[in-house]
Amino acid sequence: SKDAEVLNGQDPTLFTVSYHATQADADDLMNGLVSPYTNVINPQPIYVAITNTVTGCSISTQSFNIEVQEAAEANSDMEPILYELCDDNMEIDGDPTNDSVQFDLSTLDEDVLDGQDPLNYTVTYYASFD
């Protein structure tokens, strides 16, 4: 809730905050939006009304926009990404028998992004889901 931000220090026991899809609804204290709210356009302006609970007087001069941003989706086609390297004398430790090879995971970024614009995302890798 943005109530505390909207009230900006005013006592929430003396003021109520309501949110509206139009300025006219906020002015008339009609058709208040309920939470959770699903936007109908993107971005969408939300109009705010503050009402004094003692006097009933209200003001509706504030507004803000809500906006849905594109989410990242790793490996969206769900095709397994196979990354294999051979343990030979070419790797860093020089031991071809210890089943240890250094992988450069950043070479998989394109496969993980699966067509998403790499300029919009940062790919990081972790040893576990925890």
Q: So what's the pLDDT on residue 92?
A: 63
- For residues 75 and 127, state if they share a domain: yes
d(CA 49, CA 3): 10
Last residue of a domain, one of 43, 66, 89: 66
- Return the structure tokens found at 121: 């995302």
- How many domains does one find in the chain? 2
Q: So what's the pLDDT on residue 101?
A: 73
Last residue of a domain, one of 16, 40, 66: 66
- For residues 79 and 48, state if they share a domain: no
Domain residue limits at 80: 70-130
Interval 41-86: pLDDT, tens: 999 999 999 999 999 999 998 999 999 987 778 887 888 888 887 7
- For residues 34 and 20, state if they share a domain: yes
Task: Tell me how crowded residue 44 is: count the other CB atoms within 10 A of its CB.
Answer: 15
Under 8 Å between Cβ of 12 and 41:
no
Q: Is 31 left (phi over 0), alpha (psi -120 to 50) or beta?
A: left
Interval 10-42: pLDDT, tens: 999 999 999 999 999 999 999 999 999 999 999
- For residues 125 and 76, state if they share a domain: yes
Q: So what's the pLDDT on residue 129?
A: 77
Say if pTM beats, i.e. exceeds, 0.85: no
* 61 Cβ contact list (under 8 Å, min separation 6): none
Last residue of a domain, one of 27, 43, 66: 66
- For residues 81 and 113, state if they share a domain: yes
